[in-house]
Amino acid sequence: MAELGVNIDHVATIRQARRTYEPDPLWAAVEAQLGGADCITMHLREDRRHVQDQDLERVKAACQVKLNMEMAATDQMVEIACRIRPHMATLVPEGRQEVTTEGGLDVAGAGPRMAQVTARLQENRIRVSAFIDAKADQIDAAAAAGFEMCEIHTGPYADLFHEFGGDLANDRVAAEVAAIAESGRRISQAGMRFNAGHALTYVNVAPIAALDGIRELHIGHSIVSRAVFVGFRRAVTQMKRLT
């Protein structure tokens, strides 16, 4: 069974829509833990569109499970991470105009910088993951840069799953699952942990959760969406049963 990392960014998105004090991401972190979450994930973006610095600080102080900080590989974010010291940091690409993260981090194109950032975080006892596409050159570059984990970007799989009505026998869907599985094997053979995430839902998560060697699944939007109707704790528990 894969561990479940619950991304609570979009609780903060709802709050920031009104620039008020509710809903509080800290409450979501507590409810997620009570629902069975193994990890809390928060993306502190450079434009602070949802999670704020104090959110990360408050959740770190109260979190009884692993805290994963998603972050761009900028000097500012590295300094913040080294000060707050989450248990884990996931380096992601970041664009100011994107709605959500689009595509994986280009580790192969920025190897020296990635190695520098990874080493700095590890010096502060933060384990480091790379959010990458299911490509051999990116996995090899992540290993060379010293990453301890790779989170495979499952967005392309999720898009195809939706396009073809969840038909796992469809050639394009099956090929995407196979590519993720092969990436997982390559990650494990390189001595890194195999994680996955992005656009995973209650409907499409099972084939990814069933892959050999997968350690963690990081899921946010689908859980927050279901929580609107069933409550946060119950939404997390329902997803945990699927992973």
Task: Please pick, among 10, 50, 153, 198, the residue that the annotation labels catalytic.
Answer: 198
Phi first, then psi: give them for residue 160, nearest 5 degrees. -70, -40
43 flagged as catalytic? yes
Pairing of strands 127-132, 88-91: parallel
Structure letter (DSSP) for residue 212? T
Kindly tell me the burial class for residue 174, based on how many C-beta atoms sit within 10 Å of its own C-beta (0-12, 13-18, 19 or more): middle
Task: Please pick, among 31, 70, 94, 216, the residue that the annotation labels catalytic.
Answer: 70
70 flagged as catalytic? yes
32 CB-side CA count, 13 A: 33
Task: Please pick, among 10, 31, 43, 50, the residue that the annotation labels catalytic.
Answer: 43
Which of 60, 66, 64 minimizes the C-alpha distance to 25? 60
Strands (E), the chain: 3-7, 39-43, 66-71, 88-91, 127-132, 149-153, 193-197, 214-219
Q: At what angle do helices 9-18 and 221-230 cross, to 10 degrees?
A: 70
Cα–Cα distance measured from residue 232 to residue 43, given in angstroms and rounded to the nearest whole number: 19
Positive or negative, the Cα torsion across 90, 96, 101, 107? negative
Cα–Cα distance measured from residue 42 to residue 7, given in angstroms and rounded to the nearest whole number: 6
Give the catalytic positions in this structure.
43, 70, 198
